[in-house]
A and B are shown apart, each in its own frame.
Chain A
């Protein structure tokens, strides 16, 4: 539904986006991750036709955004960063304007605006000027603008940025509710959001893709993935030594009361590690181990490893 092909863009000497390609199908929610300035917004602006790419292009439902921009934009809903909407306008009037541009007329237009206001939970504020609304409402007005024509492809630049936890929850619920019918791209630097709503994530660093996979896949790249964490209440010296002696253990980190044993090989090595540790604990009941768990790894760690290690290249 959305195919991004070798997008490139530079501003002066800075190469903001270098050769970014990916594809998003119906039912997918793709998370674009990356530190500030990594090129997420520039990438989205090129996909939505706001910025012309230096090279490459994006196909939206088969329409090339550079060659047939109007056709492509018709299939697209876009929520720009910071939700820029006309502050002087009333919510209803603004959405009526969008509906007119989207080709709705007469009764159909009014009906469409009413439906959109309802589904975006804006009924309470529909006759207020947008400039008087709270950030959460403003964000939803802009989201309503993007959703009004029920586009098959939806691009959202930091949809939950600056919202309070309740407002974030509302926006995420809305995204999840429509995910099955659309191809969605969101950018964010909030990693919990990726785990909450994204089916796939791409990490961008210095304008290039450094990782592309499901959140679970990305987590396996974490150095913690598959390690076993023990919580020990009364530590004893030979615990660490004995753990170190196990065949499946690569190394042991001890930060009492937590002790982490890392496997030699990931995947299969991890289950062997667990077995060995369990039998070791059975043999030494006096160690007082109160908790034992296999770590999944954390997206934060993967994110930091991928976006810090390559600084300056």
Chain B
């Protein structure tokens, strides 16, 4: 009872705070314009002559790489810098409720922005008969990927009171997790490393799991992968907060 109420209250406050500053609007505009540009001019959506959103979803991991850490960097770093973490964590809430509340708020925020790409789905449906499963899978994968990025950003945000440091750290970590399964990187390993190591490194990567969703394949293992990344990162955040609240 308390758990739900506190998590919801913190989540609501955090979500509102995105919209109380210009942050939310800057994000929306940048995300939508960037994605639009990449889909139509780089991936050549029209010229391809295929009614699918592969070119659209292909860019999500790269656009998220910039935007999601930026949305996550303030979550704890700002609380630390302004000292509000002291007021927040001396309320009758647990650190777990605060972490989950903030995470959900940021995830909903990203979800809202991703939802604003709906015109491209309509366009696609107007032009042809796209594979519905692939689109639903694409969006699901995109949301889960955003969640994993966010969880990484949350951990780096808890580590520092400086938002820039948090941003850079989480971009680097996310980039690594993204590239670990990217063929050019795995090709580097293939020539000398044993196969199990290549598969192991690649399995840590966001990419293969993301691609499965894009094809419309909803595999429980891919869900489990993203959820375990999220849980692991949030748990790390909890440890960090417990150990260095005042730092």
* Chain A residues engaging chain B, CB cutoff 8 angstroms: 45, 48-52, 69-71, 73-74, 76, 78, 80-82, 84-89, 93, 97-98, 100-103, 129, 142, 145
Q: Flag if A101 contacts B87 (CB, 8 Å).
A: no
Distance of A85 Cα from B91 Cα, bound (Å): 13
Q: Mark B72-103, 1 if CB is under 8 A from A, else 0.
A: 00000000001111110111111000000000
Bound-state CA distance A85–B242 (Å) is 21
The answer to whether B5 and A98 have CB atoms under 8 Å apart is no
Contacts of A97 in B (CB 8 A): 9, 12-13
Give Cα A25 to B2, complex, Å.
29
- Stretch binding the partner chain, chosen from B16-24, B56-64, B177-185: B16-24
CA–CA, A82 and B81, complex, Å:
12
- Contact partners of A93 in chain B: CB under 8 A: 16
- Cα A102 to Cα B82 in complex, Å, equals 22
Which chain A residues border B13 with CB–CB below 8 Å?
A: 86, 89, 97
Q: Which residues does B use to contact A, with CB under 8 Å?
A: 2, 5-6, 9-10, 12-13, 16-17, 20-21, 82-87, 89-94, 242, 245-246
Given contacts A45-B246, A84-B84, A84-B86, are A101 and B93 in contact (CB under 8 A)?
Answer: yes
Given the contacts A93-B16, A100-B9, A84 and B87 also touching, CB distance less than 8 Å: yes
Contact assessment for A85 and B90 in the assembled complex, using a CB-CB cutoff below 8 Å: no
A70 x B93 contact (CB < 8 A)? yes
Contact in complex: B16, A102 (CB < 8 Å): no
Contact B17 A88 (CB under 8 A): yes
Give min CB distance, A256 to chain B, whole Å: 51
Q: Is the CB of B92 within 8 A of A51?
A: no
Instruction: Point out the residues of chain B lying under 8 angstroms from A103, CB to CB.
Output: 2, 5
Residues of A within 8 A of B12 (CB): 97, 100
Least Cβ–Cβ distance between B207 and chain A, in angstroms: 36
Interchain CA distance A103-B17 in the complex, whole Å:
21
Task: Report B106 CB to chain A, min CB distance, Å.
Answer: 15
- Report the Cα distance A78→B89, complex, angstroms: 11
Q: In the complex, which of the residues B2, B10, B89, B93 contacts A50, with contact meaning CB atoms closer than 8 Å?
A: B89
The docked-state distance in angstroms from the alpha carbon of A28 to that of B99 is 37
* A20 to B89 Cα, complex, angstroms: 23
Which residues in B have their C-beta under 8 angstroms from that of A49?
A: 89-90
Which residues of A lie under 8 Å from residue B10 when comparing CB positions? Answer: 101
- 19 new A-B contacts, CB < 8 A, other than A89-B20, A101-B10, A102-B91, are A49-B90, A50-B245, A50-B246, A52-B242, A69-B94, A70-B94, A71-B92, A73-B91, A74-B92, A76-B90, A80-B87, A82-B83, A85-B84, A85-B87, A86-B82, A98-B91, A100-B9, A103-B2, A129-B20
- Minimum CB–CB distance for A94 against chain B, Å: 8
Contact B82 A145 (CB under 8 A): no
A82–B86 CA distance with the chains assembled, in angstroms: 11
Closest to A82 in B: B83
Kindly report which residue of chain A lies nearest to residue B83, judged by CB atoms: A84
For A80, what are the chain B residues with a Cβ–Cβ distance below 8 Å?
Answer: 83, 86-87, 90
Also in contact, A50 and B92, with CB within 8 A (given A45-B246, A70-B2, A97-B13): no
Among B5, B6, B86, B89, max chain A CB count under 10 A is at B86
Which residues of the partner chain B approach A76 to less than 8 Å between Cβ atoms? 90
B84 touches A50 (CB 8 A): no
Among all A-B residue pairs, the 10 with the closest Cβ atoms: A84-B83, A73-B92, A100-B9, A80-B86, A88-B20, A84-B84, A48-B90, A74-B92, A78-B90, A97-B13
